[in-house]
Amino acid sequence: MTDEPPLRRRPTEELPGNAPQHPPSAQPQPAGEGADPTDGGPVPLIAPRDGTPDPVATPAELAEVVARFAAGTGPVALDAERASGYRYSQRAYLVQLRRAGAGTALIDPLPLPDLSALDAVIGEAEWVLHAASQDLPCLAEVGLRPRRLFDTELAARLAGFERVGLAALTEQLLGFTLEKHHSAADWSSRPLPESWLTYAALDVEMLTDLRDALDAELTRQGKSAWAAEEFAALVRTGARPPRVRAEPWRRTSGIHRLRGARAQARVRSMWYARDQIAARRDAAPGRVLPDSAIIAAAELDPKDEKTLLTLPGFGGRSVRRLARTWLAALDDARQLPEDSLPVSPAVEGPPPPHRWAERDPVAAGRLARCREVVIRIAGEHNLPPENLITPDSVRRVAWTPPEEITEASVAETLRGLNAREWQIGLLAPDLTEALTPPTPTST
């Protein structure tokens, strides 16, 4: 545990039942038991140990933070706030850090987009994040890239906890409650309200304590080496931006209702028109025009502004101002020659599982046996099946098994699907048996 001053909590008389105030530490309980480490119930956290710091927004203030964190010791807790649902980009609009001996810093990356000087002094420390894969890409954009990390959400999954949110784990393992009502706020707005800054500071307040509790639980369960492999994989790949889909417009909500390539062309044309506007405005696409409006227009194919504006989703003033843009997109789709209409994309990998029995009954049998293996082994080790192996990997190995099915060839196939060695060690022997054609029974 880190040697830090006690947390500030609500006065005892405000707590239900006059709950005693406990220090920010507790022995982790076996996963799934829902243990409450406090005698009188969890304690609400309302303020950081050192108070809520002002956001760092100038080079001089950043230099002071760099010096403080260089002098700090132990792991560094980090978090980032984005503006998903408000902005087109997934950039960070606030970066939070805490380290023993350095306290908490809130950094505004709008005026300070390059935090590489901070990275230089904390880069060799272990970074503690919750759901690291969500924050690593936007942290990398400002020059922060971990060399070692501990992901408290992933650790909790490996330990078998049913509830793996930060607030749920902090309450269960440490006996403190965190309010999460600002998680979906528009963090791109300025100035940030004091209550939002307090919320942001509290997000890193107990990460290191939580890391220690989860590390102890992983050690107790014999899973520390598994976690180390998972964290190392995150360091290698977590900062990569999400893969760009070849035809992202196909993910428009409600597109399954449309029939015909021409209607799909209308969705495609409107989707890209909206995307260009959203990118230019740095606004979430759904705030420019909701998916439901695109689908409604694709279904009806209105030819004039009056008809367009009667459709659901086209009533807002900002949407109405763009009526000519939407009509032009629909007209573009209307004039496309037949050979330019969308065609069903080539399927990458196995077909949908519900079609296996018809397409290849033998493969369907392999898939069923492989799934049984994964569920059984995951249960034996108190793991979510998807953390033992991804469902896509199970489908791929069942659809296209090695030509010669041996434990070594199955292990190599799993390795090619980015499975970690601990996963391969648990799965390869039994998956080899599941992939082997069953011996015909004599009659």
Which residue from 69, 92, 74, 91 is spatially nearest to 3, judged by alpha carbons? Answer: 74
Where are the alpha helices (H) located in 72-151, listed in sequence order?
116-122, 132-141
Which pLDDT score, from 0 to 100, does residue 19 have? 31
Q: Domain 43-236 is in which class? A: alpha beta
Phi, psi of 431 (to 5 degrees): -65, -35
Question: And the tokens for 427?
Answer: 């799965």
Question: And the tokens for 359?
Answer: 């397409």
Ordered per-residue pLDDT tens for the chain, 443 residues: 455 554 443 333 332 333 323 333 333 333 333 444 445 688 998 899 999 999 999 999 999 999 999 999 999 999 999 999 999 999 999 999 999 999 999 999 999 999 999 999 999 999 999 999 999 999 999 999 999 999 999 999 999 999 999 999 999 999 999 877 777 899 999 999 999 999 999 999 999 999 999 999 999 999 999 999 999 999 999 888 777 788 999 999 999 999 999 999 999 999 999 999 999 999 999 999 999 999 999 999 999 999 999 999 998 899 999 999 999 999 999 999 999 999 988 777 898 899 999 999 999 999 999 999 999 999 999 999 999 999 999 999 999 999 999 999 999 999 999 999 999 999 999 999 999 988 776 55
Classify strands 103-107 and 148-151 as parallel, antiparallel or unpaired. unpaired
Q: What distance in Å separates the CA atoms of residue 337 and residue 320, rounded to the nearest whole number?
A: 29
Which pLDDT score, from 0 to 100, does residue 13 have? 31
Range list for CATH 3.30.420.10 in the chain: 43-236
Side-by-side strand order, sheet with 148-151: 103-107, 94-100, 73-81, 126-129, 148-151
Angle formed by the axes of helices 407-416 and 421-435, to 10°?
130
Which pLDDT score, from 0 to 100, does residue 431 have? 98
Q: What distance in Å separates the CA atoms of residue 227 and residue 215, rounded to the nearest whole number?
A: 9
Q: Could you check whether the bond before residue 191 is cis, i.e. omega within 30 degrees of 0?
A: yes
**Look-up of token digits 């970690």:** 420
Question: And the tokens for 175?
Answer: 């006996």
Range list for CATH 1.10.150.80 in the chain: 251-340, 353-435
Residues 6 or more apart whose CB falls under 8 angstroms from that of 293 comprise 311, 312, 313, 314, 319
Which pLDDT score, from 0 to 100, does residue 26 have? 32
Q: What distance in Å separates the CA atoms of residue 264 and residue 27, rounded to the nearest whole number?
A: 56
Which pLDDT score, from 0 to 100, does residue 442 have? 57
CB 313 within 8 A of CB 290: yes
Torsion sign, CA atoms 66, 67, 68, 73: positive
Selected from 3.40.50.300, 3.40.50.10490, 1.10.150.80, 3.20.20.80, the CATH number assigned to the domain covering 251-340 reads 1.10.150.80
CA atoms within 13 A on the CB side of 60: 0
Q: What distance in Å separates the CA atoms of residue 372 and residue 368, rounded to the nearest whole number?
A: 6
Angle formed by the axes of helices 207-221 and 194-205, to 10°?
30
Cα distance between the two ends of the chain: 66
Question: And the tokens for 243?
Answer: 């893969």
Fold of 353-435: DNA polymerase; domain 1 (1.10.150)
